[in-house]
A and B are shown apart, each in its own frame.
Chain A
Amino acid sequence: MATKRIGKQTVKLNNPPSIIATASIVGPKEGEGPLRLYFDEIIDDELWGEKSWEKAESKLMRETFAKVLKKANKTAEDMEYIVAGDLLNQCLAANFGLRESGIPFFGVYGACSTMAESMSLGALLVDGAYADNVVCLTSSHFCSAEKQFRFPLELGSQRPPTAQWTVTGSGGAVLSSKGSGPYITHVTTGKIVDMGIKDVNNMGAAMAPAAMDTIVTHLKDTGFTPESYDLIVTGDLGAVGKEICNELIREQGYNISDIYNDCGVMIFDRERQDPHAGGSGCGCSATVFAGFIYKKLMEGVINNVLFVATGALLSTTSSQQGESIPSIAHAISISNSIQ
């Protein structure tokens, strides 16, 4: 009997794990953005001494892993699982970046929703008493993502204003059965939503209905209201998707405008840095969470957060074959106190 399930898609954790540490490393452009003071490390060169973008992204993952363990005051031996993934084919960055970790490893792919997906699974592992300490990690890299999904970097092309800029960065969190918060109290797992958007330069619009679906379902399942939260934050909808998501949620009878934000909007200064509609990529929500949101939770500036990372589950093959973009959003409810 699944006694911990409430509603359609939500699990209420009886033994909520604490997020005992987070770490974030970002690229130079993110390091010039409005959240620069919150990241643990800013690399000044996108290759970071490596020979390829893929190797550089693997290094981002590896170094973030080392950093988050150090900040948690733990060693690799203390960790029972890693749950990690990234955007590259076959989750290259996670598999290669963490191959020397020596810890049982679950590779996950949720496109840009990976941070919330890995933290959902990590929280379930800890809550279920299958593990005491789990590391959740993800990364993305502007250059490796452009190479895989779009065009070579040096190709002189223009992008439409709805396009987004893949964040170079990696974020990680250690979840533990022991700790004094912030706690992951609820996990709402998203379902795949496809509203027929085909424009790969408008992922925000493709993902917004998935975000709306998960947020509204979460509120219905838990009985929470928008007032229950200090911040509801989506992963990487960007400016266009954020506005659409906000309106779609209002149509469902909830007004979250005052407490709603989007990591893709937060990470760059759109006037000064020209990321078009905003940031995207697994690293976007991961670094904003691990950097900014977690620190604000620790400071007690905010106490209840619904973290909803959003992913566009397309592949280059599917879009060339004229398919629309299936999307997903996973939500975790994070609180400084347990009711």
Chain B
Amino acid sequence: MQKTLTKKEYQKYVDEKSPNSKTLRNVIRAFIVGGIICIVGQFISNILKTKGLGQEETASITSLLMIFIGALLTGLNVYDDIGRFAGAGSIVPITGFANSIVSPAMEFKSEGYIMGVGAKMFVIAGPVLVYGISASVIAGIIHFMLS
């Protein structure tokens, strides 16, 4: 570097120069798309209940169907477009979880079914599972101790 800014000054300068994400726009989009996904889930759930399924079966089958829809839309190359528009709105619901598993599986298919699909499938969802399951175990232990 020639005579110029320190690293700290440069970082500050870059922060001023770099446009921020449009947070309000993104939040509104996330709210709308996330809401629509939940409405679809509720719709499926209500139909299942009218068919006489119990609370627990309804919840399980609804989740299964939502996962299927997420996976299918990923396979059809649609979910990434939804995600680019909706951001967290399509990442947070369970369809986003399906997307995070199916997309690496598709991407790494070229490296074979073992080291490609099998090994890489959880590359994004893996940390969620590890810490989600760990947290639930800890919560379970606390619950057990208190009751």
Contacts and interface: CB of A to CB of B under 8 A. Distances in A.
B17 A248 contact: no
Given A195-B10, A209-B10, A156 B17 contact: no
Contacts, number: 106
A58 to B, nearest CB: 13
Interface residues of A, number: 34
A182 B15 CA distance: 40
15 contacts: A53-B110, A152-B103, A153-B80, A154-B75, A155-B99, A155-B104, A156-B99, A158-B21, A197-B10, A205-B14, A205-B18, A216-B2, A240-B18, A244-B14, A244-B17
Contact of A195 (B1, B18, B75, B100): B1
Contacts of A154: 74-75, 77, 79-80, 99, 102-103, 106-107
A193 interface: yes
Interface residues of B, number: 42
A293 B20 CA distance: 32
A53 to B, nearest CB: 8
B19 A156 contact: no
Interface of A: 51-54, 147, 151-162, 193, 195-197, 202, 205, 209, 212-213, 216-217, 240, 243-244, 248, 251-252
Interface in B77-103: 77, 79-84, 86-87, 90-91, 96, 99-100, 102-103
B26 interface: yes
Contacts of B107: 147, 152-154
A78 to B, nearest CB: 36
Contact of B19 (A151, A197, A213, A240): A240
